[in-house]
Structure 1
Amino acid sequence: MTETETKPRVALVTGAGGGIGGAIARHLAEAGHAVAAADLDEAAAVAVAKGLPTPSIGVGVDISDSASVAAAVARVEAELGPVDVLVNNAGIDKIEPFVQSTEDTWRKVVDVNYLGTVIVTRAVLDGMVERGFGRIIHIASDAGRVGSSGEVVYSGSKGAMIAFGKALAREVATKGVTVNTVCPGPTDTALLKQVSDLSEKMFDAMRRAVPMKRIGTPDDVAPAVVFFAGEGAAFITGQTLSVSGGLTMA
């Protein structure tokens, strides 16, 4: 690396083995970031990392476990460098009426979607503050803004992510760290397949409700993350952006 070259920013993307996470990892790499693709499924994370054009690694991590997160962050820092950009994308859900859901499901959803976001954020935040630079992007959901039938606890966990991001953005606003949230609408992922498997009629109704009359793709979501991670968003923090084809205008 010459004196005129700068080291690429390091981005850690959780849930990178899935559709949206994989697209985010790819788009960040194409924008010049070194990428740590992290996922509970380490093999999937490694496969994503191997296809990226910048220095990248695949890391196995359980974001609901503090020790697992600490080990993953230590490995990322040792192999790529300090984390400059964190994308809290990992999430789980089970489509079903609330009255049929169980406490075991509630706890798993909250532990991963909300507390997992808190745990990973806390693991990298001190370093960002010390270096005077950080970009934290949460991948929540429009369900967290307006609610979604069959996703009651999931909606609550995503709403918590949004509120957490806003409050944290206020605390670190003078530290060079921004915190923003991207809320996908109906997007072609394994989660959405749960809807179509449950009811094709419900899936078709969802598609028709989108003003653009189509379901989103992971590649529709990723550019918003790249924007929030970039220098052009340096004066933007505490914001929530829906990527939903106009379904949610809030």
Structure 2
Amino acid sequence: MTGSLQGRVIAITGGARGIGLATARALVAAGARVAIGDVDADALAAGAESARVHLYGALDVTDPASFDAFLDRVERELGPVDVLVNNAGIMPVGALTDEPDAVARRIMDVNVHGVIIGTKSALHRMVPRRRGHVVSIASMAGETVAPGLATYCASKSAVIAFTEAARVEYRSSGVEFSLVLPWFVNTELTAGTRDVPFMKKAEPEDIAQAVVRLVEKPRPKVRIPASAGAIVVSQRFMPRRLGEFVSRRFGSEQIFLGDVDAERRRAYEDRARGQSSAPESTR
């Protein structure tokens, strides 16, 4: 599945805001037939209109019946799904001992089970056709550590391992699997947090263009931006104590703890923690 995106049917989860909406805009501009799903009906309708997508609908990624119903509708109205973009995700921040168990479960439900459920639903359609592509938005947080994000890091590490295993398991099926690993992105997900020294946040459009390139020419994994990716990968070859000393020296260990602007982040945290509606479009 390489080449032009013209006419490709692409479904995106968590498409009402942030990375999901930026990706929808980029794929529509490239000629794809795009469907977005989300639990926030108001934001979804507004996002769909602004991105000029071909279809939008309610989607709870933690519910297999909801996911199947969404993809069934996409295939009924737009045609067989060529690409699923697993984008929905949440990132509550704070000290681990302050994290309620319900919030930890919510992170794993949306970030991990949402990807597993969506991938299975897509595979049931793609494998018999011997073509398709599952793109999952993970994070470099799944390859490194970030104090204040322990459960989030665990969830993204799980997405990476799951996707790599699925890719190997289905290597002869005709279905492609790709991982997009952004650095922290300038969306509501990082509201109220400062940049890591010497590494600016990526923009949603950067991730969107990476997805477009992956759909045009599939690869197993891409890190955005590449400069941050190189630093994260290099940490594997650095003595642990040295790496942790450098992090402390530049204050990066407090970015998601003491340095958070709680007031600027309050609306996002309420949604992500389930204290208001629409958690999944929060990337």
Q: Which amino acid aligns with 1:34?
A: R
Q: Which amino acid aligns with 1:33?
A: A
TM-score, structure 2 as length reference: 0.76
CA distance in 1, matches of 2:10, 2:45: 15
Aligned to 2:202: 216
Unaligned runs of 5+ in 2: 234-283
Aligned to 1:47: 46
Aligned to 2:222: 241
The question of whether the paired residues in 1 share the 8 Å contact of 2:6 and 2:31 is answered with no
Aligned to 1:140: 138
CA distance in 1, matches of 2:73, 2:6: 18
1:114 to 92, 112, 115: 112
Give the Å deviation of 1:148: 1.5
Cα–Cα, structure 1 residues 57 and 43, in superposed 2: closer, same or farther, change >3 Å? farther
- Percent identical pairs in the alignment equals 36
Give the Å deviation of 1:245: 5.5
CA distance in 2, matches of 1:37, 1:89: 10
Q: Give the secondary structure class of the aligned counterpart of 2:228.
A: coil
Q: Give the secondary structure class of the aligned counterpart of 1:148.
A: coil
Q: CA RMSD in A?
A: 1.7
The question of whether the paired residues in 2 share the 8 Å contact of 1:10 and 1:84 is answered with yes
1:158 aligns with 2:147: no
Q: Which amino acid aligns with 2:153?
A: S
Q: Which amino acid aligns with 1:141?
A: S
Which has the higher mean CA deviation after the structures are superposed, 38-47 or 133-142? 38-47
Q: Deviations over 1:209-250 (max 9, x none)?
A: 31xxx32110111111111112x33xx3xx222103522322
The question of whether the paired residues in 1 share the 8 Å contact of 2:6 and 2:30 is answered with no
CA distance in 2, matches of 1:59, 1:44: 11
CA distance in 1, matches of 2:201, 2:169: 36
Cα–Cα, structure 1 residues 178 and 243, in superposed 2: closer, same or farther, change >3 Å? same
Q: Give the secondary structure class of the aligned counterpart of 2:157.
A: helix
CA distance in 2, matches of 1:247, 1:97: 24
Instruction: Give the total of aligned pairs.
Output: 227
1:130 to 128, 133, 146: 128
CA distance in 1, matches of 2:172, 2:46: 38
Give the Å deviation of 1:105: 0.7
The question of whether the paired residues in 2 share the 8 Å contact of 1:37 and 1:46 is answered with no
Question: What are the within-5 Å matches in structure 2 for residues 16-95 of structure 1?
Answer: 16-52=15-51, 56-95=54-93
The question of whether the paired residues in 1 share the 8 Å contact of 2:108 and 2:155 is answered with yes
CA distance in 2, matches of 1:16, 1:139: 12
CA distance in 2, matches of 1:154, 1:224: 22
Unaligned runs of 5+ in 1: 1-5, 197-202
The question of whether the paired residues in 2 share the 8 Å contact of 1:132 and 1:177 is answered with yes
Q: Which amino acid aligns with 2:19?
A: I
Aligned to 2:251: none
The question of whether the paired residues in 1 share the 8 Å contact of 2:142 and 2:154 is answered with yes
Give the Å deviation of 1:7: 7.4
Q: Give the secondary structure class of the aligned counterpart of 1:113.
A: helix
Q: Which amino acid aligns with 1:117?
A: V
Q: Which amino acid aligns with 2:204?
A: P
Q: Which amino acid aligns with 1:171?
A: E
